[in-house]
Amino acid sequence: MGEPGAIGRVKLAEDIESLWDLECEFNNTDHRTELNGVEQLIVRRGQPFTINLHLLVCFNGSYSIPVPFSPPCLLPGPQPSDQYGTRASFGLTDQIDTSRWSAAVTSPPGYMVSLSICSPPDAPIGRWRLTLGQGGLVEFVLLYNPWCTGDVVYMDSEEKLAEYVLAQDGIIYRGSWKYLIPTPWNFGQFEDGILEACLRILEMNPKCLRNPGKDASGRKNPIYVSRVLSAMVNCNDDKGVLLGRWTDDYDGGVSPLSWKGSVEILRNWDTNACQPVRFGQCWVFAAVACSVSRALGIPCRVVTNYNSAHDTNSNLVIERYVDENGQLVQKSRDMIWNYHCWVENWMTRPDLKPGYDGWQAMDPTPQEKSEGVYCCGPIPLKAIKEGELTYKYDAPFVFAEVNADVHTFMKRKDGSTEKIISSVQVGLKISTKSVGSDRREDITHLYKYPEGSDEEREAFTKANHQNKLLQQQTNAGLLIAIKVSAEMKKGCDFDVFAVVTNNTPNGKKCRLVFGSRAVSYNGILGENCGFKDLLNVELAPGEEKRVPLRMNYSKYAENLTEDNLIRLGALLLDYGTQEAYLAVRNVVLENPEIKVRILGEPKENRKLVAEITLQNPLPVPLQNCCFTVEGSNLTGGQIITEKLNSTVEPGQDAKVKIYFTPTHSGQRKLVVDFDSNKLCHVKGYRNVIIGK
C-alpha cells in the first residue's frame, strides 16, 4: 500500500502499471487544508481533487479504470456498507458530477493521466480508502465544506469563513457583565496531530463503538456530529477529552485557568490512551469544541452568556435563598453562573420547518443529561428567541439560561421563609469575538427580543413562561443598589457602596446588612471579605444615603479564588413594613497588564524575540514566577516556558525574553500566561503580523 502523499505503484489492468501521485500540496491548498500539512491528502466534500497516474506505457484513452471507494474508520469494525452509504463503486465518466461520487480523466492522452475525483456534498466525513484498479489503495481524509453551496454547512462570506473555520486563535469573554475580560485562546486546529485527535474523538464515541457502520453514515450530518462532540468533549459518559472540576482542588491535574489553548489538551488526550485531561471548566470545554468543529470543517464560534441561569428542574425559575444577614444559602441546585460559555455551529436544519437554519447553540459542559447523555444541542438560536421549546435539541435548558426568572427568599432562624424584593436579570451581554477584529460583538438580540416588547411576550407565551408574563413593574418605596469604585485592581484597597433611596412620603427606619464574599464564576460562595451591619439607618422622605464598605487586600487576598471575583450583597429591612430588599453584584478585581514587545522584523522562518513584562501590583513579593507562551504557526506547536529564578518585589517588573520562529505568514496571536505564588494565571497576548 502506498503511503498517502507519496508515490505508489498500482496495476490498472493486466498490461498497464502506473505510479500514482496524490498531489497533496496542490489538493490541500485548493481545499484550504494546507495548514494541516501536505504529507497526507485532506480534502473537502463536494469539491473535486486530482490524482496523477504516471503510466509505464502510453495511455490512449481507451482503458476503463474502475474506482471503488470505501470510507469506514481504520479501526476494527465491519466492512464498508452499501446499507449505510459508506461504500461506493463507480467508473470513469466524461466529466465530474459534484452531486455524487464520480471520476473523470482531465488530461490528454500520454504517459500521465490526471484523474479528477469528487465526492457528493453530503458524503460522510472521516477517513476514506480509495481502491484504484487491481491493488492500488489510497487513504485520505474528507471534511465538511463550508465553501460548497451544496453542503449543509455552507457559509456565503469569505470574511466569516476566515474567522469561523480558518482562524486558529481568538478571544473568549470572561469576567462579569459589568466588567468583561477578553481572554486570548489558541484554537490550533491545524497544528500537527490535531486533526488526527479530532478524528479519534469521532471514532471513540460510544455510538461508533456500538455500531461503526451506522455511526460512519451519521457523519454526513453535522447535526449528528455536533451532538457527538457535545458529549465527547466532556468525559462524563465516555472516553471523552476533559474532566470538569469546579472546586479549588486540582490534585492530579491543573487549574482550568492554566490552559492557553486547545492543542496541549487534545494532544494529551490522544497520546494517553484517551484518558481524560484534568481539568476543564466551561470556557475550556467550549474552546476545545470550537477547535474540533473548525478542524472538521464546521463554522464555529465561542459565545459567553453573562448571568447565565442553570435551571435543573425545567420550571424556568431560579430560586435563591439568603439568611437574615443577607448571605446566600446554597439550598437549591439551581444556580446563576457569573458567565457561561458554549459554542455555536453553523448549519442548515432540514429536520425542522424552514427558517431555523444558521447558528445552532451546542454546549459541551456537562450540566444536565439529554437523552441519557451529558450533552446539549444543537438548537437553533431562532428557536430560543421565538420560545419554540419543542424543537430539537434541548431548547428548554438553553431558553432558561438566557430567560429564567429569579425568585429570592429569606430563610429565617425559625425555619420560615418569605419572598424578598430583588432585581436580578439573566442572559446579559451575550458576547463573541467580531469577524476580522478583536472587538466584541454583542449577539444578545439573536437569543431574545428587547425586554418588554410584544415579540418578547409572544415568545414567553409559546414557552409557557408564566412567571415572566405575570410580572408587573412596580415602583418600590425603598430602593437599594450597589455602586463600586472606578478602579478595583488586585492588590489595592478600595471602597464599594450600598446606595439606599427612600421614594416614599414618610420617613423610614431600616436595618442594612452589607457583606462581601469570595465567589467562583459558577456561583459557589467562598469566605467573607468584609461585612457591615447597621441596625439603625434613618431615611427622610426622598433621601438617598451611600454606605461605604472598605475592601482591604489584607482581608480579601487569601480568600479570592482564581476567578478574582467578590460577591457583594446588600440587604435592607424596613422595620415599619417588615419588607426586605436585596441587591447583589459581582465585582472582578483587575489583573495587571502583560506587555509584549516584538524585537525584529516578523517573517516566515526567521527567528524572533518577544520581550514580555509584567509589573507586580501586590504589596507582597512574587515567588516562583513563570511565563508560558504559545501561538499557532509561531511556536512550532509547542509551549515555551521561561521561569524567573529571582523574587519580584512590589512594584518591580517580571521580565523575560522568549525566542520563536514563525512558520506561516499572516496575523497570529502570541498567547501569554503568567503564574506565581500570589498572582495566578494572568493572561495577555500580542497580535503578530508575519510577512513572507
**Residue in 24, 282, 529, 625 annotated catalytic:** 282
Q: Which residues contact 172 (CB under 8 A, 6 or more apart)?
A: 182, 183, 184, 185, 283, 286, 287, 302, 304, 341, 433
- Give the amino acid at 523: G
Task: Kindly state the DSSP code that residue 326 receives in the 8-state scheme.
Answer: S
**Residue in 21, 270, 363, 394 annotated catalytic:** 363
| Strand ranges of the sheet holding 335-347, from the earlier edge strand across to the other edge | 379-380, 358-362, 335-347, 300-310, 428-433, 440-442
Produce one character per residue of 400-437: b if its CB has 16 or more CB atoms within 10 Å, e if not.
bbbbbbbbbbbeeeeeeeeebbbebebbbbbbbbebee
**Residue in 340, 341, 465, 625 annotated catalytic:** 340
Q: Rounded CA gap, 591 and 644, in Å?
A: 19
* Residue 405 marked ligand-binding: yes
Produce one character per residue of 560-569: b if its CB has 16 or more CB atoms within 10 Å, e if not.
bbebbbbbbb
CA angle 579, 585, 591 (to 5 degrees): 165
Q: Are 621 and 648 in contact (CB under 8 A)?
A: yes
Q: Rounded CA gap, 142 and 219, in Å?
A: 11
The 3-class SS string of 368-392 reads: CCECCECCCCCEEHHHHHHCCCCCC
Name the grid cell of 234.
466532556
Closest CA to 427 of 448, 454, 457: 448
Backbone torsions φ then ψ of 521, nearest 5 degrees: -65, -20
Q: Rounded CA gap, 28 and 35, in Å?
A: 8
Is 282 labeled as catalytic in the residue annotation? yes
Q: How would you classify residue 394: left for phi > 0, otherwise alpha for psi between -120 and 50, otherwise beta?
A: left
* Residue 325 marked ligand-binding: no
* Residue 238 marked ligand-binding: no
Name the grid cell of 599.
524585537
Q: In terms of DSSP H, where are the helices of 43-179?
A: 158-161
Is 122 labeled as catalytic in the residue annotation? no
Q: Which residues contact 197 (CB under 8 A, 6 or more apart)?
A: 266, 267, 269, 270
Closest CA to 535 of 569, 516, 512: 512
Is 363 labeled as catalytic in the residue annotation? yes
Q: How far is CA 75 from CA 203, 220, 353, 455, in A?
A: 8, 19, 37, 51
For the four alpha carbons of 50, 51, 57 and 60, in that order, the dihedral sign comes to negative
Q: Are 187 and 287 in contact (CB under 8 A)?
A: yes
Q: In terms of DSSP H, where are the helices of 31-122?
A: none
Cis ω on the peptide bond leading into residue 553 (within 30° of 0)?
A: no
* Residue 456 marked ligand-binding: yes
Binding site as annotated, residues for Ca(2+): 403, 405, 451, 456
Binding site, by residue number, is 403, 405, 451, 456
Catalytic residues: 282, 340, 363
